[in-house]
Chains A and B, each alone.
Chain A
Amino acid sequence: MANSFRLEVITPERLFYDGEVELVIVRTLNGDEGFMANHAWACKLLSTGELWIQEKGSREYKIAAISGGYIDVQKTIVIFTDSAEWPEEIDADRAALAKERAESSLTITEKDDLQIRLAKVAIEKALTRIHVKDGGYRRKR
């Protein structure tokens, strides 16, 4: 059996997850990265994306949508994020609506950089939510 470590996922509003896990995959600014027990200590910024958790003794992954934040890898791994949601907490219709709204706002001409950036973030968040609701972008089983 693989080594396990303790993972905590914290948002300002609640302790999202706390438990023994074998593997956690997050999206850092440079792309997806997986962390296992005894990883070198690190502190990395995250972008909006999926969070995959393989719990101790389990072959299945738990998936959640998180937006931004950072991961602090020491003996235990702590993920700080602005918001985190399990698939069952996601309203797929609302996410689809948000995506449409952001996309249509991009079609209007004469935009400044900030608006484009905001729309991009909104699309990213909505896409992540939709994917998580469908069981993750890449199906790892």
Chain B
Amino acid sequence: MAANGIKEIKRRIKSVKSTEHITNAMKLVSAAKLRRAKAIFERTNQYFGFVTESIEEIFNSNAEVPVDYLEGNREVNTSCYIVVTSSRGLCGSFNANVIKEASNMIDCDPEEPVIVAVGTKGRDFFLKKGYRIEEAYMRPPESIAFIETQEISKPIIEMYNNKEIDEVVLVYTSFVSSMEQKVKAVTLLPFAIKKNPLMPKLAKQVEYEPSVDEVFNYLVPKYVEIMIYRAIVESATCEHAARRMAMDSATDNAREMIADLTLNFNRARQSAITQEISEIVGGSEALK
């Protein structure tokens, strides 16, 4: 009996130990990937800052801009939701958080929404719930290139221009710090911008070529493309951060379990020895 128990505990220790090895390795890998993703994310942020600045500049210093993309120029009927999740699991509540936020918004929407899913986890969830997925992008997001995200963003902009959709909402995880990530929903189109009287007019006349309208009409879709690219990069950064944390606590838990099991193992072994000794002593006593 006792020998059996010892064997059982030994086997469990071994299995937990190998799990610990795996989670620990995954943690290290995620930490390295997180560092790389963060670097890309910061550069993208910089580029993004420049483009928004340019848009605001044009908007503020020119009276006339085309209104197609601006807020309040058409009734919002059909909304398009872009849901950015990961394609892999084992990253804590990362995907669950995004999906919860997105499905809350979608459930509140009276019209049938158009869903664009980035990452398999989001796609699978909405497929199961019976929604129509307009488009899905499946590759792991950390290796995505800007050109590839255009495959997602171009059709969306086209649909907006053809009035098939009237609103584009982006749901993704935003990166606060390595320890904290927050789900965010941003309306990309129509473009909400107000004249900012505080912003100084440009000191000099600016030549726009071919024309102000065309430059503006080029910039706004570009803004959408960059926003989507940025969201995917940011979400990949968060995924790694979340996975690193999940794996960290998994490793801690495994170590705790190993400590408990080792204690039990030692106890069982000790009691087996004690029992054996008392049996021997008992036997020799009986012989006297």
Contact = CB atoms under 8 A, between A and B. Distances in A.
Contacts of B215: 43-45, 70
B209 A10 contact: no
Contacts of A137: none
Contact of B43 (A15, A29, A41, A82): A15
B210 interface: yes
A72 interface: yes
A43 to B, nearest CB: 5
A42 B212 CA distance: 11
Interface stretch (B21-29, B46-54, B170-178): B46-54
B205 interface: yes
Interface residues of B, number: 27
B210 A30 contact: yes
Contacts of B150: 82
A91 B54 CA distance: 33
A12 B41 CA distance: 10
Given A15-B43, A78-B50, A83 B146 contact: yes
A13 B51 CA distance: 14
A10 B51 CA distance: 10
Interface string A76-109: 0010101100000000000000000000000000
Interface string B201-220: 01011111110001100110
B22 to A, nearest CB: 32
A42 B207 contact: yes
Contacts of B82: none
Of listed A13, A72, A78, residue having the most chain B CB within 10 A: A13
Contact of A43 (B47, B146, B207): B207
A13 B43 contact: yes
B81 interface: no
B47 A80 contact: yes
B207 A41 contact: yes
A40 B202 CA distance: 13
A14 interface: yes
B209 A13 contact: no
Contacts of B210: 29-30, 45
B209 A72 contact: no
A4 interface: no
A40 B147 CA distance: 32
Contacts of A28: 209
A34 B215 CA distance: 19
A11 interface: yes
A77 to B, nearest CB: 12
A40 B249 CA distance: 58
Contacts of A80: 47, 50-51, 54
Given A43-B54, A45-B210, A72-B54, A13 B145 contact: yes
Contact of B204 (A13, A40, A45, A82): A40
A14 B42 CA distance: 10
Closest 3 CB pairs of A and B: A42-B207, A44-B209, A12-B146
Given A13-B44, A45-B218, A80-B54, 12 more contacts: A11-B47, A12-B44, A12-B146, A14-B43, A15-B46, A30-B209, A43-B54, A43-B206, A43-B207, A43-B209, A44-B207, A83-B146
Interface of A: 10-15, 28-30, 40-45, 70, 72, 78, 80, 82-83
5 contacts: A13-B44, A43-B54, A43-B58, A44-B215, A80-B50
